Amino acid sequence: MTIHTKPEPEKPAFAVTTGPLAGSRKVHDSGRRFPDLRVPGRAIEVEGEPVVRVYDPSGPYTDATATIDISAGLPRHRGPWVRARGDVEEVDATVIPPLGQGGAVPPFPIKHRPLRGKPGRTPTQLAYARAGIITPEMEYVAIRENLGRTEAAKARDGEDFGAAIPDLVTPEFVRDEVARGRAIIPANINHAELEPAIIGRNFLTKINANIGNSAVLSSVADEVDKLVWAIRWGADTVMDLSTGRDIHNIREWIVRNSPVPIGTVPLYQALEKVGGVAEDLTWEIYRDTLIEQCEQGVDYFTVHAGVRLAYIPLTANRVTGIVSRGGSIMAKWCLAHHTESFLYTRFRDICEILAAYDVAFSLGDGLRPGSIADANDRAQFAELETLGELTKIAWEHGVQVMIEGPGHVPMHKIKVNVEKQLQLCGEAPFYTLGPLVTDIAPGYDHITSAIGAAMIGWFGTAMLCYVTPKEHLGLPDRNDVKTGVITYKIAAHAADLAKGHPGAQAQDDAISRARFEFRWHDQFNLALDTDTARSFHDETLPKEAHKTAHFCSMCGPKFCSMKISQEIRASAAAQPSDAVAAGMAEMSEKFKALGSQVYVEIDEVAAAGKRP
Amino acid sequence: MTIHTKPEPEKPAFAVTTGPLAGSRKVHDSGRRFPDLRVPGRAIEVEGEPVVRVYDPSGPYTDATATIDISAGLPRHRGPWVRARGDVEEVDATVIPPLGQGGAVPPFPIKHRPLRGKPGRTPTQLAYARAGIITPEMEYVAIRENLGRTEAAKARDGEDFGAAIPDLVTPEFVRDEVARGRAIIPANINHAELEPAIIGRNFLTKINANIGNSAVLSSVADEVDKLVWAIRWGADTVMDLSTGRDIHNIREWIVRNSPVPIGTVPLYQALEKVGGVAEDLTWEIYRDTLIEQCEQGVDYFTVHAGVRLAYIPLTANRVTGIVSRGGSIMAKWCLAHHTESFLYTRFRDICEILAAYDVAFSLGDGLRPGSIADANDRAQFAELETLGELTKIAWEHGVQVMIEGPGHVPMHKIKVNVEKQLQLCGEAPFYTLGPLVTDIAPGYDHITSAIGAAMIGWFGTAMLCYVTPKEHLGLPDRNDVKTGVITYKIAAHAADLAKGHPGAQAQDDAISRARFEFRWHDQFNLALDTDTARSFHDETLPKEAHKTAHFCSMCGPKFCSMKISQEIRASAAAQPSDAVAAGMAEMSEKFKALGSQVYVEIDEVAAAGKRP
C-alpha cells in the first residue's frame, strides 16, 4: 500500500509519520567525485535571510515529493555502489530456525538475496580507506557534514580538547579518519537503503535512539513508525533492542525502511533461541545469529566481549552490580561455565564474520557503572582496557569499531572517561549512554543524563545514546522517544558549539536574530521542536496577529526587554543629530579606540566616557 | 479560614497544597546555643535502612501536624530573635499611593507594624557576623546544612575548584563566611515567618523559582499556591516578579505565607507607578518603593545598578541587545536623560535603606547575554566589574550582597564567568540564570539551561535561578513551575555531588541500593519527584504485587540485568563450596593482593586470575 505524504482522513493500517517539518524542506547536494550522489539536508526558510541548513537524518519520510510504502521498503540506492566494487557476491540466506520466530509478525514481503564479501576480500570502509580508496559513502558523509557549506569556515570559537575538526570536511579527510580508526561509517553491504553517516570525534556529534519491544507487538507498523518518529526528530542511528520471539521479522521490516544505520545486540536474539537460559548459550548459536543479522543488513553490533571472567568478582562490592543486560548475561554464562566467554575467546572468528559484511563493532561496556557509587571503579576500567585490546584485533581484520561507555558518572569523573578511552582504544569513536550525573531523579533521567551527555560530547564522545524519561521505570512510548531525541539533540548540539564545530552556531544565531526581531514563525521553525515551541506560545497568544507582536505573554508588552532594546536602537537610528544617538556613536568610537578589548578596564571606560 | 493538611472533598476557596510528600515526614532539630530553634528537615523512610535526611525548604505546608490558614499567614517565630537584639524599632508603615494598587486583590487581613533599625544601628547578619556575634539565624542554617549529621563527614570525593566546604557546618563557620561576604542569609527583619537559609559557595547549592503574574490575577490563593507549590518541590527562594497594579497586596500575601526568602525587582513596581514610562522614573519614586518593600519583609532586591551609561553602546552590535527587563528599562532611562542611572549615582543611599532592614542586594546583570553570540562580551564583563565595585560599597554599609549572572553561554565559556565573578566581586555569592548552552530549543529551555546550571554550580555558583519549559514563549503554569524546580534540583544536586559536598551522595546511594534490591516504593520515595516516578512505573505495571517484582517493564523479567546480578551473588553466597563462589572469593582476594588499585593492569589480572 502507498502512504501519501499528506495525512489522509482515514489513516491506513500501515501508516507512518510523513511530510516535512513546519517551515522546512528537503534539499539534496550532489557529489563531485560521484555526481549521482543525492546527499540530503534540511533547509529552514527564514524571513529576509538565507535558508539555514541543518543535518537531516530523517530520510525520505520528510521529503514532500517522496512516496512511502513500508511494504516495499525504501529505495535501495546504495546497492550499485556496493556491487560496483566487485568484491561481494550473492549468497543464499541462512535458514532461520523456527525457534527464532513467534508468528505474530508477518515476514517482509520482498526477499533480497544477501551479499557477502568474496573469499579473501574485505568489503569494509576501513579496508578501502587504508587502501587509499575514497568510496561514495565517504564523499556522501563529507558533503553531509558540511551542512551546505562549500567554503571553509572563517571564525572558529571553541575548546576541542585536542580534536582535529577541519574547517571544511573533504572526502580525503573522511578517508584519513576512517583509515586511522578515529571514525566509522556503519554501512552493512546488505543495507542498501542506507543514507550513510559518519561517527567520530572530528565530526558532528551524533545521537542514537533505542526502540524495540519487550513482549508482544501491537503491530509492525507501530515499530516502523517508532523508527520513523525517532529519525524525524533527529536520531542519527537507531538500535533495535527487541527481545520477543518475532525479532527476525520485525528487524527485517525496520532495516528495509531505515535510512539510518541500525544497531542490535545479537546476544538478545541468541538468548531467545535458548529459551532465555543464559548458561545454554553456545558459540554456534551466537555465530549463526550474527550471520543471520549480517545478512539482513544490520550496521553495527553491540558485543560484550570485554566481560572477562576475572573482572566479574570486581563487581561483587558494587552498589548496583552489573547493569548491562548483555553484560549480566555473559557474566552469568562465564560463572556457570567458569571460563572466559565465547565472545572473548572467539573474538577473531567474530571479526571475520563482521568483516565479510562491513558490520561495525560497538564494543559493549558490560561492566559500566549503574550508580554514582560505582562510577570509574576497577571493574569499569579493567573492561575498558580489554576493549582497547580487542579494538586492535578488530582493526587487524579490517572491521570498524566504536566503544561503548557509561552510564552513571558524577560530573567530576566524566572527563577522565574520555581521556582513558581515547588512550586505551587508539582514539576509536566513543559512544556513551548519558552519563547520568545523579541517581535521584527517576522520571527525569533524560535530563540527568543530558547534563552528562553534553559534557562528555564536548570532551570528545562521538555518539550519545539517548535516555528517555521512562529510564529505570518502564518502556518509552512515542512521546518519550521524542522527548529523548530532542533532549539528546540539545546535548549533541551544545557539545558541537563548545567544540567550536564550524557552522554549528549558524542555527543559534538565526533563531536569536528572529527572537530579537519578533519573527515568531522563524523562531518556531528554527527550533529543534517546532511544534512544541509553537504550541507553548499559542497557549496564551493564539492569534495570527500575535505572530508578529513585539512581545510575548512571558513579560507582556510593557516589560519586554527586547522591545525596549529595539526602541533604543530605533531611536538612535532615527535621530542622528540627537544627543542620544551621538552619544552612542561617540561611545562606540571611544570603545573601539580602547582597542576593542574583550575585557575593558573600568578606569579606561570612565576616562573615555562621560562621568556621572 | 483553615485548610486542613488532608485534602477536603470540597476544596476551600483559599486552598493551597498541603501534606507531606509520599514516604516522607517533617523532622525538626533543636539548637545548642539556641535550644528553642526548630530547624526543619525531611526524613524519607527506607525499608530496612536508616532514614535519609534531605534539605527541606517547603515550610509548614508539608508538616502533617500543621494547620495552614493563608489568611493568618505562617507563624512569626522569628520575631523574638529580631527584637531580642535591641537594635530595631517599630515605625508607621509607609502610605501606599493609590497608583500602586489596582483593587482586584484584597489587602492581607492582618497588619503588622514594620520594624526598622534604630538610628545608627545596622541590624544585618553581615554586621553581626563582623562583630563576632552568632545569631539564631546562623545556628539555624548551620544545623540545616548538615542534613541531620552531627559528626564530620568521613570519605570525601569531588573537585571543588578551590571552595572551602567543611566536613561539618558549625555556627562559627557560618559566621565567618557571612563576615567575609562569601555567604548571605537573606533575612529581612520584617520577615518573621522566615525559615532562614544560607547562600554561598561553601554550602549546598540553592535554587530560586520565579513566580508572579504579568496581568490580572485569577485569585490571590492561586499566587500563594504557586509559592507553596514551588517550595514543595524544592525551591530555596522565590522571586515575586509580578508586574500588575496589585503587586503591593499580592506581595503581602506572599511574604506573610512564605517560609523561604522572597526576592523582588523593585524597579518593576516603580515603573507601574509612572504608568510604564521608563523616562519618567525618578529616584524619589524608586526610593519610596524600596522602603515600601523593605517594610513588607522582602528579603532581597535585584538592583540593576551596574548598567552604566558608558556600557550601553557596547550592546549596539549584539545579536539580542539587552535582554534583562530591568537592564533595558534603566538603559532607556540613561539614554533619555543622558546621564548615569540613579541606581548607580544613589547607590550609597540605597545601601543605607537596605541596611536598616537587612535586605540583601542581588546585584542585577542588566547586560547579561541573551544569545550564544553575545556570551562573555565586553558589555557583560564591563558591568561585572562595576558590580564588583558596588559590592565593596555595599559591604561598607553592612549590606549583604550576591551577584547575578548569565544567561546564554556555550559550555566552553561558562567557567571563566565564575572565575571572573569570584575575583572581581570578592567571592560574593554568584546567582545565575541557567546559563542556557544553546539557543535552538525553545520549549526545552529548562534542559538547555540545566546543563549550564549544573556546570556553573559545580564551578562555584551559590544559587541557580530556574528556567521553565515556557522560557521565551509564555508564562509558566503550575506544571511548568514544578518541571523547572525539579530540573534545577537535579542541576544543584549534581553540582553538590561533583563538588564533593559531604552527605550529598547519601540519597543517591540509598536510591541505588533500593533499585538493585527491587524495593520499588523506596525508589519512588527517594526520587526527587516521587509522584512522577510512581506514575511512570505504574503505567505498565500498576499492581501492588509489581512493587516487589524483580524487574520492570523496561526490560522484562528475562533481561533484567539487576535480577541476573542478584542471582550471580545469591548463587555465590548459597554454595560456598561451589567452584563459582570459591572462584569469586579467590579472585577478590587476588585483586586485593594487587593493591586494590583503581586501575588494574590487564597483565596483572591475567597473571592473578585463571586464564581462559
**pLDDT tens, B176-232?**
999 999 999 999 999 999 999 999 999 999 999 999 865 554 578 888 999 999 999
Distance CA B357, CA B121 (A): 10
* Helix pair A347-355, A378-396: axis angle to 10 deg: 50
> Among candidates B587, B573, B556, B564, which has minimal Cα distance to A323?
B564
Per the CB < 8 A criterion, the answer to whether B289 and B348 are in contact is no
Binding residues of A for substrate: 210, 239, 268, 304, 324-326, 365-368, 404, 431
With a cut of 80, say whether residue B584 has pLDDT above it: no
Query: pLDDT value at position A97?
Result: 63
Q: What is the pLDDT of residues A183-214, one digit of tens each?
A: 999 999 999 999 999 999 999 999 999 998 65
Cα angle for residues A528, A532, A533 (degrees, 5° grid)? 70
- What does the pLDDT read at residue B599? 30
> What's the confidence (pLDDT) of residue A156?
84
**Sequence letter at residue A478:** R
Q: How distant is the Cα of B293 from the closest Cα of chain A, in angstroms?
A: 20
Task: Name the H helices within B443-519.
Answer: 445-459, 478-499, 505-516
Q: Which residues of A touch B380 (CB under 8 A)?
A: none
Name, in order, each residue with C-beta under 8 angstroms of B458's C-beta and a sequence gap of 6 or more.
A411, A412, B159, B161, B494, B495, B498, B499
Sign of the four-CA dihedral B136, B139, B143, B144: positive
Q: How far is A45 from chain B (nearest CA, A)?
A: 15
Task: Evaluate whether B37 touches B30 at the Cβ level (below 8 Å).
Answer: yes
For residue B591, give the chain A residue with the closest CA: A314
Give the C-alpha separation, A538 to A540, whole Å.
5
Cβ contact, residue pair A474, B540, below 8 Å? yes
Residue B28 identity: H
Closest Cα in chain B to A333:
B568
Look up residue B477 and give its three cell numbers. 503554569
Return the residue in B318, B444, B516, B547 with the most chain A beta carbons within 10 A, the one to mutate for interface testing: B444
| Long-range contacts, B269-277 (Cβ 8 Å, 24+) | B269/B100, B269/B293, B271/A558, B271/A559, B271/B243, B271/B329, B272/B99, B272/B100, B272/B243, B272/B244, B272/B245, B272/B247, B273/B97, B273/B99, B273/B100, B276/A558
- Distance of alpha carbon A373 from alpha carbon A106, whole angstroms: 45
- CA–CA distances in Å: residue B248 to residues A564, A612, B96, B557: 25, 32, 8, 58
Q: What is the CA radius of gyration of chain A?
A: 26
| 3-class DSSP state of A45 | strand
| Average pLDDT estimate for B22-34 | 97
Can you list the domains of chain A with their CATH numbers? 55-502 (3.20.20.540), 576-609 (no CATH)
Nearest to B378 by CA among A320, A21, A608: A608
The segments of chain A whose pLDDT lies below 70 read 1-14, 97-103, 213-218, 552-558, 571-612
A136: cell is 561514495
On the 0-12 / 13-18 / 19+ scale of CB atoms within 10 A, A441 is buried
Count of CB atoms within 10 A of residue B129's CB? 24
User: Rounded mean pLDDT of B7-35?
Assistant: 82
Q: How confident is residue B89, by pLDDT bands cut at 50, 70 and 90?
A: very high
Q: Exposure string (b/e) for A358-387, b if CB count within 10 Å is 16 or more?
A: bbbbbbbbbbbbbbbbbbbbbbbbbbbbbb
The confidence band for B95, taking pLDDT boundaries of 50, 70 and 90, is confident
Give pLDDT, residue B574.
56
Residue B581's pLDDT is 45
φ, ψ for residue B240 (rounded to 5)?
-95, 105
Strand-pairing partners, residue B232, are none
CA dist A461 → A201, A439, A488, B159 (Å): 6, 22, 13, 22
Query: What is the rounded CA–CA span in Å between residue B570 and residue B288?
Result: 72
Cα B374-B376-B380 angle, rounded to 5 deg: 85
A96: which DSSP letter?
P
B600 vs A486: CB contact, 8 Å cut-off? no
- Tens-digit pLDDT profile for residues B490-530: 999 999 999 999 989 999 999 999 999 999 999 999 999 99
A366 CB-near residues (< 8 Å, 6+ apart) = A304, A306, A307, A322, A324, A326, A327, A328, A330, A331, A383
Q: Is the pLDDT of residue B272 over 70?
A: yes
Q: What is the DSSP string of B149-197?
A: --S---------TT----SS--HHHHHHHHHTTSEE----TT-TT----
DSSP state of B135: P
Chain A: residue nearest B609 by CA?
A310
Taking CB atoms and an 8 Å cutoff, what residues of chain B touch A376? 598
Binding-site positions of B for Zn(2+) read 408, 472
The whole-angstrom separation of Cα B434 and Cα B468 is 10
Give the end-to-end CA distance of chain B in Å, rounded to a whole number.
Answer: 76
Please give the pLDDT value at position B86: 97
Tell me the HSE value of B492 on the side-chain side, using a 13 A CA sphere: 29
* Nearest Cβ partner for B438 among A508, A523, A568: A508
- Please report residues of B whose CB lies closer than 8 A to that of A158: 410, 412
Mean pLDDT of chain B: 89
- What pLDDT is attached to residue B560? 78
Contact A5, A68 (CB under 8 A): yes
CA distance A23 to A529: 12
**Nearest-neighbour CA in chain B from A134: distance (Å):** 35
C-alpha cell at B89: 524599632
Reading the block at residue B276, the C-alpha cell is 510604564
At residue B49, the 3 state secondary structure works out as: strand
Q: What is the pTM of this model?
A: 0.92
Q: What's phi and psi for B175, nearest 5 deg?
A: -55, -45
At residue B122, φ and ψ (nearest 5 deg) are -125, 90
What number of C-beta contacts closer than 8 Å exist between A and B? 490
Rounded Cα distance, B608 and A334, in Å: 17
- Of A182-196, B92-106, B159-173, B472-486, where does mean pLDDT reach its minimum? B92-106
Q: Which residue has the cell 529548562?
A: B446
Query: Least CB-CB distance to A309: which of B443, B515, B609?
Result: B609
